[in-house]
Amino acid sequence: MREAYHVELGQLAEELANMCSMSATAMELATRALLDTDLGLAEQVIGDDAKIDDARSSCEEHAYALLALQAPVATDLRTVLAAIHAAESLERMGDLALHVAKAARRRHPNPVLPEQIRPQFSEMGRVAVELARDAEQVILNKDIDQARSLEEADDEMDDLHRRLFSVIMDKDWPHGVAAAVDATLLGRFYERYADHAVSVAKRVVFVVTGRMPGYAEDEDV
C-alpha cells in the first residue's frame, strides 16, 4: 500500500512539472508575440491557457484524493500540501503569460513596446522562462541547491524591473503616457511570474527539509 502511495506521489510531481513546462512555454511564446507583434502566437497563448487551468484542477483533485486515500504524515503530508500550493502558483504563472499575450493582441498591429525598452523585455522574458524550466527540474529532482539558486535568478529579474522603471519614470521619456502604462503593467507581470516560480521552488525545499524559507508573497496575480 505504501509503495503504491509513493508511486502516486511521484505521478503528482510529474503533473506539477508538466505545469511548469506549460507555463514556461506560454511565457516564451507570449514574449515572442510581444516583441515580434505576432498575433498568431498571442492567440495561441490565449487559447492554451485553459489547458493550464485544467492541469491545476487535475493536480488538486489528485492531491485531495491522496489525502483521502491514506492519512499521510511527515514528508508525504508535506508533499501533498506543497503540491496544492504549487499548482496555484503555476496556474498564476500561466495567467501572467496570458496577460502578456493579451497586451500584444490588444495593440496589434502596432507594437506594444517602444524600441528603447525592447531589450529589457527580451531579457525579462529569458529570465522568466529559465526560472520556470529550473523550477520544473527542482520538482522532478528535489534538488535543494538548485531550488535556492532560483532566488539569484529572481534577483536578476528584480534588477531588470528596477532598471525598466527608472527608464519609464525618466523626465525625458518620449513615448507618452499610454506606452508608459503598458510597459509598467507588463514589467509587473514578468516580476510576479518570477516570484511565483521561486515560490514553487521554496515549496520543494519545504517538502525535503520540513522548513519553509521565509518570504512574503503578494497574493495578487
| pLDDT at 211 (0 to 100) | 78
Structure confidence at residue 130 as a pLDDT band (50, 70, 90): very high
Q: What contacts 16, CB < 8 A, 6 or more positions away?
A: 59, 83, 86, 87, 90, 139, 200
Mean residue pLDDT across the chain = 92
- In-domain check, residue 80: yes
> How far is the C-alpha of 144 from the C-alpha of 107, rounded, in Å?
42
Residue type, 145: D
- Sole residue written with cell 510576479: 192
pTM for the whole structure: 0.92
Name which of 147-151, 157-161, 210-214, 217-221 the model is least confident about. 217-221
Structure confidence at residue 125 as a pLDDT band (50, 70, 90): very high
- In-domain check, residue 93: yes
- In-domain check, residue 170: yes
- In-domain check, residue 6: yes
Average pLDDT rounded to a whole number, residues 118-142: 97
- In-domain check, residue 217: no
Cα angle: 193, vertex 124, 38; to 5 degrees: 95
> How far is the C-alpha of 43 from the C-alpha of 79, rounded, in Å?
35
- In-domain check, residue 50: yes
Write down the number of H helices and E strands in the chain.
Answer: 6, 0
Q: pLDDT > 70: what percent of the chain?
A: 95
Q: How many structural domains are present in the chain?
A: 1
| pLDDT at 213 (0 to 100) | 61
Structure confidence at residue 218 as a pLDDT band (50, 70, 90): very low
What digits encode the pLDDT tens for the residues 36-55? Answer: 999 999 999 999 999 999 99
The range of the structural domain enclosing residue 109 comes to 2-209
What digits encode the pLDDT tens for the residues 21-39? Answer: 999 999 999 999 999 999 9
Cis status of the peptide bond prior to 109, with omega within 30 of 0: yes
Q: Could you tell me the maximum CA-CA distance found in the chain, to the nearest angstrom?
A: 67
- In-domain check, residue 218: no
Average pLDDT rounded to a whole number, residues 134-143: 95
| Cβ atoms of 9 and 76 closer than 8 Å | yes
Q: What contacts 46, CB < 8 A, 6 or more positions away?
A: 98, 101, 102, 105
CATH number where 205 lies: 1.20.58.220
Average pLDDT rounded to a whole number, residues 11-15: 95
- In-domain check, residue 220: no
- Sole residue written with cell 502511495: 5
- Please report how many Cα atoms fall inside a 13 Å half-sphere around the Cα of residue 25, on the Cβ side: 14
| pLDDT at 68 (0 to 100) | 86
Kindly write down the DSSP assignment for every residue of 54-68, as one continuous string.
Answer: HHHHHHHHHHHHHHH
Q: What contacts 191, CB < 8 A, 6 or more positions away?
A: 124, 157, 158, 161
